[in-house]
A and B are shown apart, each in its own frame.
Chain A
Amino acid sequence: MDLSLSTETVGDRTVVKVGGEIDVYTAPKLREQLVELVNDGNYHLVVDMEGVDFLDSTGLGVLVGGLKRVRAHEGSLRLVCNQERILKIFRITGLTKVFPIHTSVEDAVQATD
C-alpha cells in the first residue's frame, strides 16, 4: 500500500490526513507535504494518523522535522492516533513527550495547551 495524503483547514489549523504506510520509501512525500504547508504559512498542523498502517523511524524523523519547522514560527504540530501499534513506536523512542497526541481530530483542533 502506498501513502495517501489530504489536507483540510479547520479554523487556524491545518489537518493533514495520512493513510497507508510511512516508511523509508514514502516518508519523503510526507516531508514534502509538511514543508510545503509551512512554506505557505500554515504553522498549526494536526497530523491525523488514524489511517496509517505502518510507521517506522524514517516517518518519525519526518514528523520531528515538521515539528521543528512549525516551532520556528511559534506554531504547533499535533498528532491524532488511537492505534496501539503506532503509539508503541512513539513510546519506545520517547517521542510521546515531544508530540501532543490526541484521540480525535476535534480534540486536536480545539487544543491550545
Chain B
Amino acid sequence: MATVELLFSALPEHVRTARLVAAAVARRAGVDEAVLDEVRLAVGEACSRAVGLHVSQGIAKPVRVVLTEDEKKFSIEVGDDAPHQAVVGSAAAASGAPAATPSGSAAAHEEAADGEDDMGLAVISGLVDDVEVTADETGGLIRMSWPTTPAAETA
C-alpha cells in the first residue's frame, strides 16, 4: 500500500506542493539528507511533465503521485492520463484521417513538445539511478526509487 498518495489538478502552481510532500515523506522514510534535493527535483520534473501533457491535451483528470516506503527503498510513481503520442499517431493514420497535408505542422508541433519533455526526462535520468518510464494508450508512468538508510530510525 502507498504510504502517501496525492492527486492534484494539472496546474503548474501545485507542482511545488508535490515536491514538498514528496521530500517530507522521503525524509521520514529514511532517504539520505544529501539525496533529498534530488528527490525534490526529480519529482518536480515528473510532475511538470505530467501537468504539461494534461494541459496541452486538454485532459481534466488530476495528476497522480504515489509515494511508497518499503523496507529498503523509497519509491515515487508519477502518473498521467495522456495517451502515448505514437499510439495517437498510428490511430489517426489507421482511421484514415485527412491528416496528409497538415501532418507536417503536426509533426513539427510534436517535435517541439517532445523537446520539452526530453529536457525533463534528461534531468530525471541524470539524477536517478533507478528510473523507469512507461506509456501506453491510457497514459504514462514514471517510477523512481531511492535506497533508504536504516539508521534513520533513531527518531
Contact = CB atoms under 8 A, between A and B. Distances in A.
Interface residues of B, number: 20
B126 interface: yes
Nearest to B13: A25
Interface residues of A, number: 14
A58 B122 contact: no
Given A56-B45, A57-B45, A92-B127, A24 B119 contact: no
Nearest to B41: A56
B48 A56 contact: yes
A79 to B, nearest CB: 17
Interface in B28-55: 37, 40-41, 44-45, 48, 51-52
Given A23-B15, A24-B51, A25-B16, A57 B40 contact: no
Contact of A93 (B13, B44, B51, B119): B119
Contacts of B51: 24
Interface in B104-128: 116, 119-120, 122-123, 126-127
Contacts of B16: 21, 23, 25
A93 B37 contact: no
B12 interface: yes
Contacts of A24: 12, 15, 44, 48, 51-52
Given A24-B15, A85-B37, A89-B41, A58 B123 contact: no
